[in-house]
Amino acid sequence: MSTRQARTGKAVLPGPQDTGTPPDEPVARVRRARALPGREPRRGAPVRGWPGNAGAIAARFLTLGLIVAVALWAAAPLVSAQNWTGTAIVAAVTVAGLYVYLTPRRLPAKYLFPVTLLILALQVFPVVHTMSLALTNIGDGHLGTKQEAITAIETSSVRREPGSAEYRLTVAERDGEPVFLLAEGARAYVGTAAGLRPLEGATFGPGGRITAAEGYTVLTVAQASARGAEVTGLSVPVEGGAIRSQGLSRAYRGTAQLSYDAACDCVTGPDPAAASGSGSGDGDGDGEAVPQKVWQADEEQGRFVAVDGTALPQGWKVDVGPANLTAALTDPQVNAHFLGVLGWNVVYALSVVALTAALGIAVALVLHHPRMRAVRAYRTLIVLPYAMPAFAMLLVWRDMFNTDFGLVNRMSGLEVDWLGEPLTARLSVLLVQLWLGFPYMFLIATGALQTIPSEYLEAAQVDGATAWHRFRKVTFPLLMLALAPLLVSSFAFNFNNFNGVFLITAGGPFPADNPAVGATDLLITYTFRLAFGQQGAQYGLASAMSVYVYLIVAVISIISFRRTRVFKEVDR
């Protein structure tokens, strides 16, 4: 709910002035009158120099120091990672910041710099990036570059060979990621998924293992074994192979079975599928028994594919053009989901708006009567759902609908699986959203009712209109005039009401044969599951879905801007 408040922000404010202004002419006059005094001093006054007093100079030095300090802090890791694009961006932003804040001129940019930076980095760039991701196959198995995929293929195929180097292993942690601290005699190394580096400042314990190292947190045996899968999964790429753990105190340097050959742009080696089948000999070196296989790089799919059609699991990110976007409309597997979800999404948003508005207006009308007592008490209680933390109340509702333990079934004596059947699940999410949303509509309808001049209604009464006629012909049209923009924003909010569905049904119930799309799924919950669901990340397809939602949002906002004539305000 509160998100809605923020989103429909325009409406929430003691609004600007123009409540009763007749159209254009006076506004234009006001505008002219306002623009003038703003410009005059600037035109007339001589160009201002640097302010001379000590405080202002100190403030300038402080600003300079602050900007430079932040810039250095931001640039340091980029430079050490040799990320020159990032460094260039930091440098450009710093120069812009220094110019804006140190020039003696009165620049509006002094006030706009932070907002510009935030909007560009956290709103514009993500939207543009969504569109570019939508044109790729990015997702699980296609996250990085081809070189990274090759490294991953080679290191994951590492087998131990007799006589290979061995290390004393200490499992440690840095920034939440497990790392290997490796000791080979008196030499210390640190191994991560990025590679092997010499380690300085390590403390050796008895037995030759490293017991402490600056910047790393050594894990206890219990901590390390709790993260066993991460530890065994970590392989440190080195020339021709990788270092992997054997237990928690030793690591070995193994040889890659699969290797990439740039000449043929392919990966060759024993078939891992066959190798695991005949792998009973376990490292005895009966290599001839396993057939060699060739996986050719396929630049369109971003994978290494063998002649028989099987592919290695590690691929890389490639451009797939508009394939993800067209899949939503033409791919029979995807488009049934997409169109079905879109349809329910529209029905959901429309129903929520209609239901909340109807109940909200009705309650406002009931309480809006000169002879009603205790109106304030009613109002205080009725708006409570709006003030409660929405996420928690959604979870409470979900559990009230629980089949076995839920309040609804226990009080009614029914045994209905409310959230397990498509129809009841849909009705349930609508009912919950009605509960959450009607107090908001009640509040704004109450406010709007109070602004309807009583003269109108009295005049209608004098003319002999019945109570129903007065409502139908006077109150209701005036209410709608006031509420229409808010209904549009409410529609826009509910169109993407992630919490309202995800926290109750998580999109479900899901048909037994198709766990990808549930009966209450909105586009946003469907997209979320595509990207972060159990079935592996399909970021590319998820981004394509987001692009469609963007288009729909854009249409809604154009309608709403037209209606509220908000563009005019720009020119004030």
Contacts to another protein from residues 161-220, by CB under 8 A: 175-176
The pair phi, psi for residue 421, each rounded to 5°, is -110, 140
Residue placing its CB nearer to another protein in the complex, 188 or 432: 432
406 is an interface residue for another protein by CB under 8 A? yes
Question: Rule CB under 8 A: is residue 427 a binding residue for another protein?
Answer: no
Out of 24, 284, 285, 567, point to the residue binding another protein (CB under 8 A).
Answer: 567
> Which residues between 490 and 509 bind another protein (CB under 8 A)?
492, 496, 498-499, 502-503
Closest distance between another protein and the C-beta of residue 155, in Å? 19
Q: Which positions from 83 to 122 touch another protein by CB under 8 A, shown as an x/- string? A: x--x-------------------x-xxxxx-xx--xx-xx
27 binds another protein (CB under 8 A): no
Which of residues 188, 267, 486, 517 is near another protein by CB under 8 A?
486
Out of 88, 396, 414, 459, name the contact with another protein by CB under 8 A. Answer: 396
Please report how many Cα atoms fall inside a 13 Å half-sphere around the Cα of residue 558, on the Cβ side: 5
Q: Give Cα 332 distance to the centre of its chain.
A: 27
User: If binding is defined by CB under 8 A, does position 430 make contact with another protein?
Assistant: no
Handedness of CA 388, 389, 394, 399 (dihedral sign): negative
Least distance to another protein, CB of residue 240, Å = 27
Selected range binding another protein among 200-208, 251-259, 283-291, 383-391, rule: CB under 8 A? 383-391
| Nearest residue (CB) to another protein, 292 versus 380 | 380
Q: Can residue 516 be called a binding residue for another protein (CB under 8 A)?
A: no
CB of 460 to another protein, least distance (A): 18
Decide: helix, strand or coil at residue 405: coil
Give the residue, chosen from 187, 532, 536, 562, that forms a contact with another protein under the rule CB under 8 A.
532
Alpha carbons within 13 angstroms on the beta-carbon side of residue 9 total 2
Scan residues 341-380 and list those touching another protein (CB under 8 A). 359, 362-363, 366-367, 369, 371-372, 378, 380
Neighbours of 548 (CB within 10 A): 17
Cβ atoms of 316 and 302 closer than 8 Å: yes
Instruction: Report which secondary-structure segment, H or E, holds 333.
Output: helix 332-367
Q: Which is nearer to another protein, 40 or 261 (CB)?
A: 40
Determine contact, residues 506/498, Cβ cutoff 8 Å. Answer: no
- Three-state SS string over 80-104 comes to HCCCHHHHHHHHHHHHHHHHHHHCC
Q: Can residue 468 be called a binding residue for another protein (CB under 8 A)? A: no
Which lies closer to another protein via its Cβ, residue 69 or residue 124? 124
Is 227 near another protein (CB under 8 A)?
no
559 binds another protein, rule: CB under 8 A? no
- What's the CA gap between 191 and 203, in Å, rounded? 16
Cα 5 off chain centre by? 20
One symbol per residue from 299 to 318: x for binding another protein (CB under 8 A), - otherwise; what is it? --------------------
Q: Which residue has the tokens 């190798």?
A: 275
- The answer to whether 186 and 229 are in contact (CB under 8 A) is no
Would strands 177-184 and 187-192 be described as parallel, antiparallel, or unpaired? antiparallel
- Of residues 123-162, which lie at the interface with another protein (CB under 8 A)? 123-127, 129-130, 133
Min separation Cβ 116 and another protein, Å: 8
Range in contact with another protein (rule: CB under 8 A) among 240-248, 266-274, 287-295, 395-403: 395-403
Report helix, strand or coil for 259. strand
Query: Does 7 interact with another protein (rule: CB under 8 A)?
Result: yes
Binder among 71, 294, 482, 516 for another protein (CB under 8 A): 482
Inter-residue contact 188 to 181 (CB < 8 Å): yes
Report d(CA 471, CA 468) in Å as an integer: 5
Minimum CB separation from another protein for residue 493, in Å? 8
Rounded to whole angstroms, the Cα distance separating 56 from 78 reads 34
Task: Tell me the site size for another protein, rule CB under 8 A.
Answer: 133
When the beta carbons of 389 and 515 are compared against another protein, the nearer one is 389
Helix axes 539-564, 332-367, angle to 10 degrees: 40
Binding region for another protein (CB under 8 A) out of 61-69, 225-233, 292-300, 405-413: 405-413
Specify the residue, 239 or 571, whose C-beta has the smaller distance to another protein: 571
Residue 290 binding another protein, by CB under 8 A: no
Q: Which residue is listed with tokens 């959450």?
A: 436
Residues 214 and 212: their CA atoms lie apart, in Å, by 7
Query: In sequence order, which ranges of 452-538 are alpha helices (DSSP H)?
Result: 454-462, 467-470, 476-495, 498-502, 523-532
Q: Report the alpha-carbon distance of residue 500 to residue 74 in Å, rounded.
A: 38
Could you tell me which of 469, 442, 470, 437 has the C-alpha nearest to residue 456? Answer: 470
Q: Which of 272, 442, 282 is nearest to 368 (CA)?
A: 442
Nearer of residues 88 and 289 to another protein, judged by Cβ: 88
List binders of another protein among 59-78 (CB under 8 A). Answer: 73-74, 77-78
Give yes or no for residue 43 binding another protein (CB under 8 A): no
54 touches another protein by CB under 8 A: no
Residue whose CB is less far from another protein, 237 or 241: 237
Residue span binding another protein (CB under 8 A) among the ranges 161-169, 234-242, 262-270, 443-451: 443-451
